[in-house]
Chains A and B, each alone.
Chain A
Amino acid sequence: MCEALQFEFMRNALLAGILVSISCGIIGSLVVVNRIVFISGGLAHAAYGGIGLAFFTGTPPILGAALFSVAFSMIMAAVSFKNRHRADTIIGVIWAVGMALGIILIDITPGYNVDLMSYLFGSILAVPKSDIWYMIPLDIIIVSSVVILYKEFLAMSYDEEFTFIAGIPVRLLYFFLLGMTALCVVMVIRVVGLILVIALLTIPPYIAEKYTRSLGRMMALACLLGILFTVLGLWLSYSYNLTSGATIVMVAAVAFFISQSFEITKKRNKIKVRK
């Protein structure tokens, strides 16, 4: 790993992995406890429409994806706020339409489109310095927003009705959360690709949830786990010449299954003790 760090692309990859893990740990925790994993998956795929639009108009892809994804997140927020259980169909439609739009826009864009696969499966090793400069302010926005509004986000996530009665504008907060999720998803697309976004957004928080008793600690542990998975995945992909995005997700998946089987044995032991 140390010798690998001599390369600038490797240093960039490591930095991007860490930045993405931080925002994923925080937003992913909120996504998991609010049960909006499907919405975040829809946002990731809809973001592809934004990438297509950006290629078509010649703007930076990450900017196009961010704007497009945030716009879609507002629609999804409006659709899902009142009726979270019935919104899945519309989310599915937005999911597919965004993706199809992106592909058609790239089709009709003149020129050679080599970058397409890198947005589907990620290309952390090709992250340019300029993308890191997008990620740092995004991370700062996400971290500071959640720190400032921590108690409101916690209350809304746990008991939306009670939080509404207390006079907190939960609707606004929900739109804000989805907007931030959209931004976070756009960042993750760069690293693991939009196909694998959901894994990095949900696996670290899901594991962290089991071992913590406060949302703040869940976020912190999820960030650390995310960093561990990306660094380890990056190292494995470098050593064995594997696709980095897929390797990172496989590392996370292995950790997920280990923690899951730990829980199952723990439950079994409890039952034995009771007997």
Chain B
Amino acid sequence: MKPDAIQVRNLSFSYDKTAILQDITFTLKQGDFLGIIGPNGGGKTTLLKLLLGILAPDKGEILVLGEAPHDAKHRIGYVPQHTDFNLRFPVSAIDIVLMGRLRRSSIGRPYSRKDRSNAEKALDRVGMAEYRHTHIGELSGGQRQRVFIARALAAMPEIFFLDEPTAGIDPHFETDLFSFLKELNKEATIVVVTHDIGVISSNVKSVACVNRTMIFHEQGKITPEMIDMAYQCPVDLVAHGLPHRVFADHEEK
């Protein structure tokens, strides 16, 4: 039997005695497409960093693909929140994508031919092949985001984590991104962190709302409790005009 994509049990984490996450338990099956919503400062990014093994939990257990996060590292693809750092840095798109092929076992050796062909393929898959030698600072926000997705793809991971992938980028990119992720979901598990409920509602399979604690919904319904928890979410909902698709009916319960 395939191990669960993510298994979190009684997870707690705090910064300087301030509880960021408290007693979180959930299981995500492989092949799922999870949207994590919640207010800013609610702990979404912290949860992601725990799942990636960047932070260690105070209490509780995390398994990603049946392994401790840091052991599963080469099966995880990660697209960070901000890609507009270091725009002056002398790197081209392909240099960044190649970083997805870094391995502890190949330290001190140049990238292999296989590394290069995988990086080229990844860049091609996000439609950025012609920009391979373009300096990162000359790319637009959306193009840069594609490069970072290609970097995650280059490792050929089984699970993808994306942190606010559409923040500050035009709405057209958002549509493209989610149709790309839907396609990618056929071969890998996907976890997207966003504060934008509208885009989540019509694309994901399950939804979780994080604000210190977590509400998890496997059917991808955004429940009224979630809305209460992430109180600024309704604004996004109205703005996208999709409330009927995401609200569970109040009378049903």
Contacts and interface: CB of A to CB of B under 8 A. Distances in A.
- 8 smallest CB-CB distances across A and B, nearest first, come from A166-B102, A167-B104, A213-B135, A155-B99, A218-B90, A148-B108, A212-B90, A167-B73
Nearest to B135: A213
A265 interface: no
Given A151-B111, A165-B73, A214 B102 contact: no
B54 A215 contact: no
Contacts of A149: 107-108
A166 B80 contact: no
Interface residues of B, number: 32
Given A158-B96, A161-B54, A165-B54, A152 B91 contact: no
Contact of A33 (B74, B89, B98, B108): B89
Contact of A166 (B92, B95, B103, B108): B103
A154 interface: yes
B193 interface: no
8 contacts: A154-B95, A158-B91, A158-B96, A165-B54, A166-B74, A168-B102, A215-B95, A218-B90
Contact of A152 (B52, B86, B107): B107
B241 interface: no
Interface of B: 52-54, 70, 73-74, 76, 78, 80, 85-86, 88-92, 95-96, 98-100, 102-104, 107-108, 110-111, 133, 135, 151, 155
Nearest to B79: A162
The SS class assigned to the A binding surface is helix
A259 interface: no
B111 A165 contact: no
A166 B73 contact: yes
A164 interface: yes
Nearest to B107: A152
A164 B102 contact: no
B107 A214 contact: no
A168 B104 contact: yes
Given A33-B90, A164-B54, 6 more contacts: A151-B98, A151-B111, A167-B103, A168-B104, A168-B107, A214-B95
Among the interface residues A151, A152, A163, A169, which one has the most CB atoms of the partner chain B within 10 A? A151
A164 B102 CA distance: 10
A209 interface: yes
Contacts of A151: 98-99, 102, 110-111
B74 to A, nearest CB: 7
A151 B98 CA distance: 9
Contacts of A218: 90
